[in-house]
Amino acid sequence: MKVLVCVKQTFDTEAKIELKDGKIADAGINLIINPYDEVAVEGAIQLKEKGVAKEIVVVAAGSDKAMDAIRTALAMGADRGVLVQQDTAADEFARAVALADAIKAENPDIVLAGHVAADDGSSQVPTRVAEILGFPHINVITSIEVAGGKATCSSEADGGTQVTEVSLPAVISSQVSWNEPRYPSMKGIMAAKKKPVATVAAAAADNKVKIVEFSMPPAKAAGIKIEDEPEVCATKLAEWMKNTVKVELK
Amino acid sequence: MAGTWIFVEQRDGNIRKVTYEMLSEAKKFGDEVAAVVFGKGVEALAPEFAKYGADKVYVVEDDVFANYNTGAYVAQMVAMINEFKPNAVLFAHTFNGRDFGSRLAQKLQLGLATDAIAVELSAGKGLFTRAIYAGKALAKVEVAGEPVLGTIRPGVCEVGDVSGAGAVVKPAVAATAADVYQTVKSFVPTVSARPELTEADVVVSGGRGCKGPDGIKLVEQLADLLGAAVGGSRASIDSGWLGHELQVGQTGKVVNPNLYVAAGISGAIQHLAGMSSSKFIAAINTDTEAPIFNVSDFGVVADLFKVIPTLVSELKK
Ligand SMILES: Cc1cc2nc3c(=O)[nH]c(=O)nc-3n(C[C@H](O)[C@H](O)[C@H](O)COP(=O)(O)OP(=O)(O)OC[C@H]3O[C@@H](n4cnc5c(N)ncnc54)[C@H](O)[C@@H]3O)c2cc1C
Ligand SMILES: Cc1cc2nc3c(=O)[nH]c(=O)nc-3n(C[C@H](O)[C@H](O)[C@H](O)COP(=O)(O)OP(=O)(O)OC[C@H]3O[C@@H](n4cnc5c(N)ncnc54)[C@H](O)[C@@H]3O)c2cc1C
């Protein structure tokens, strides 16, 4: 069985965001593999360790910088990579078209992805890819069982846990609590350098949405801070909750 | 314009509050507002939507819609869009809503703005404000299309004092069991007497400063007095004091309550991503330098083990 994992290179979650010429400045920003995608890669490796998956292919769409995300996944244990070269200013539609095109050529049984990218956070790409490929999908998973041409997954849904079954091939997106991604070993990092990575051109697709402007969130007005005996602090906090917030007690 | 449709988020007839928030918000744009509800035995819910601004309520009842499933819901929505040609269709940015919106948008070859924190609608066009980089920046995106598609973050729009005629319309059922490609084997609700994190008016969260289950108990005690949801930082989730579904932050839930209380939470950038847009923020932390104080409206530099018990008794007075 072939498992394909979509990995996106994102800004480090610690990164300080600034605007330059009306755009998000990326100079000097540390890039990481999207934390959700790292979990998806780990999930794929575990499927391989269980004997369910034979080969793990990682696919990233973007500029050459996305190669680092592929190398990280290869160092963790994926077998080979595909870099889909695409203008970074592609929207979710154009991204999904490009990824689906590359995925189709690989003919995988399972497509894993993160359920959301930690930077742009649109939560659209995996579901769009599934629609283009005509595959079923399950999102936000915390576990997976693969047997008899089907995948059964638990998902963190609103207000509870949902167990969903789909026929393969399918697109499945991860929640971070699925697993604890391994750190690449020194050996893994060395091996990754020799693993094959193909570079393909993105299928043409025009953006459907337009970014009108970027801005910084309005700064919050300075609040009140009290340093005093705990009892005094508590009394003042209670007054504020009652008079300013107007909390209602149960 | 040919109407703004709000897709109703409900499970077993329990409507999520975000549905009302979206109905009220849509009313601001002057166009006809319709609630769209799919399910089984859901017609009885129609008057509820009228109370919050729905001029029309599209009700589609069939066994195939008993529980949300992407295939049948998308097939039905596509047929209705073709028939009634709404100007915009909005979904809640929830487990089901973003799934529905994304698959529908791709089927219709349209753009979609997800997790919007503000929206402006006009004929054939939607301007959506999205929080990107975990809220560290904002992007305003324009979605043009027939219809305009978007998903709205729960808790960002106010439920207004509006109402509508709520005239019930019953479109033909356009989906069959053949459209269903996901089998939901089970749904186990999280057993809790407390409100859900993303729906609650008040959230009380505990971090590493709670030091263990005893500290979390204090957080829960305060939460229950306020009828609040309990949340946590990743430190308290990773320590096993709280379930993962209660994590607030960049890789957890984004919450927008009226009041957020952070007890023993330092305010790491990834935590702030999940709560800094709350209306009021209170912080209890022993470290006067803790970054949580930079976003709090009311901060107390003190030991939570001493503050919370007094706070509880003072509130009860
Ligand atoms: C008009 C417009 C212009 C833009 N310009 C820029 C720009 O200049 N620079 C920029 O960085 N972003 C830009 N973006 C953002 C870019 O569109 C998004 O990164 C992209 O649409 C994917 O959305 P997302 O990252 O929110 O993915 P989500 O849907 O949240 O991602 C979920 C999962 O999909 C998979 N995935 C997503 N993207 C990729 C990818 N590229 N490769 C492999 N797997 C992937 C991953 O598994 C990921 O976990 C622009 C967006 C718009 C609308
Ligand atoms: C990719 C990535 C994603 C992440 N996602 C998330 C996320 O979604 N959510 C999240 O929360 N974190 C997330 N984190 C982790 C985040 O960086 C922090 O490590 C975490 O939020 C710290 O939790 P904390 O504030 O409880 O603990 P700490 O930072 O250890 O803070 C504990 C605080 O308690 C105070 N304290 C101690 N004793 C007392 C007392 N008796 N009374 C009052 N105060 C006391 C201390 O002064 C301190 O400020 C993520 C990290 C990464 C790298």
CATH number of the domain within which A191 lies: 3.40.50.620
Sort residue A181 into left (φ over 0), alpha (ψ -120 to 50) or beta. beta
> Does A236 reside within a domain?
no
Question: What are the pLDDT digits (tens) for B111-161?
Answer: 999 999 999 999 999 999 999 998 899 999 999 999 999 999 998 999 988
Q: Give the ipTM of the model, two decimals please.
A: 0.94
Q: CB of B311 within 8 A of CB of A234?
A: yes
Q: What are the structure tokens assigned to B73, written together? A: 């819901």
A28: confidence class by pLDDT, cuts 50, 70, 90: confident
Residue carrying the six token digits 């809220």: B135
Give the mutation candidate from A115, A127, A166, A214 for the B interface (greatest B CB count, under 10 A). Answer: A127
In a domain, A145, yes or no: yes
Residue with tokens 């809503």: B97
Query: Going by C-beta distance under 8 Å and a sequence separation of 6 or more, which residues neighbour residue A28?
Result: none
Kindly tell me if the per-residue pLDDT of B1 is higher than 70.
Answer: no
| Residues 6+ positions from A121 with CB-CB distance below 8 Å | B114, B115, B130, B131, B132, B134
How far apart CA B95 and CA A247 sit, in angstroms, is 29
Question: Residue B67 in contact with residue B200, Cβ under 8 Å?
Answer: no
Binning pLDDT at 50, 70 and 90, where does residue A218 land? confident
> Which range marks the domain in which residue A94 is found?
2-201
For residue A218, tell me if it sits in a domain.
Answer: no
- Tracing tokens 């990107």 back to the chain, one arrives at B132
Q: pLDDT value at position A250?
A: 85
Give the C-alpha separation, B79 to A181, whole Å.
43
Of chain A, the percentage scoring pLDDT greater than 90 comes to 92
**How many residue contacts between A and B have a Cβ separation below 8 Å?**
268
In a domain? residue A207: no
- Residue A88 in this model has a pLDDT that exceeds 80: no
- Please indicate whether, in this complex, the C-beta atoms of B188 and A160 are within 8 angstroms of each other: yes
- Where does the pLDDT of residue A40 fall: very low under 50, low under 70, confident under 90, or very high at 90 and above? very high
Domains detected in chain B: 4-179 (3.40.50.620), 202-316 (3.40.50.1220)
Q: Is the CB of B252 under 6 A from ligand 2?
A: yes
Mean pLDDT of chain B: 95
Distance from CA of B240 to the nearest CA of A (A): 12
CB atoms closer than 10 angstroms to residue B303: 15
A210 → closest Cβ in B71, B135, B142: B142
Q: Is residue A78 part of a domain?
A: yes
Q: How far apart are CA B31 and CA B63, in angstroms?
A: 32
Classify residue A60: in a domain, yes or no.
yes
Question: pTM of the entire structure?
Answer: 0.94
Q: What is the pLDDT of residue A61?
A: 97
The proportion of chain B whose per-residue pLDDT surpasses 70, expressed as a percent, equals 100
CA of B212 to the centre of ligand 2 (A): 14
Residue B263 near chain A (CB below 8 Å): no
Pocket test for ligand 2, best of B208, B244, B295 (most atoms within 8 A of CB): B208
Q: How far is the CA of B271 from the CAs of A82, A122, B54, B61, B154, in angstroms?
A: 34, 19, 36, 41, 18
Nearest to A182 by CA among A33, A64, A61, A82: A33
Do A170 and A135 form a contact (C-beta atoms < 8 A)? yes
**Count of structural domains, chain A:** 1
CA A100 to chain B, closest CA, distance in angstroms equals: 12
Domain membership flag for residue A70? yes
Closest partner CB to B184 (pick from A96, A164, A239): A164
Q: How far apart are CA B117 and CA B162, in angstroms?
A: 21
> Looking at B59-63, B187-191, B212-216, which range is the least confident one?
B187-191
Strands ordered across the beta sheet of A2-6? A197-201, A80-85, A55-62, A2-6, A110-114, A170-174, A137-147, A150-157, A160-167, B183-189
DSSP strand pairing (B259-263 vs B280-285): parallel
Residue B56 has pLDDT above 80, yes or no: yes
User: Does residue A245 fall inside a structural domain?
Assistant: no
pLDDT bracket for residue A52 (50, 70, 90): very high
Output the residue whose Cα is nearest ligand 1's atom 7.
A89
Per residue in B163-175, pLDDT (tens digit) is 999 999 999 999 9
Q: What is the pLDDT of residue A111?
A: 98
Task: Decide: A111 in ligand 1 pocket, CB within 6 A.
Answer: no
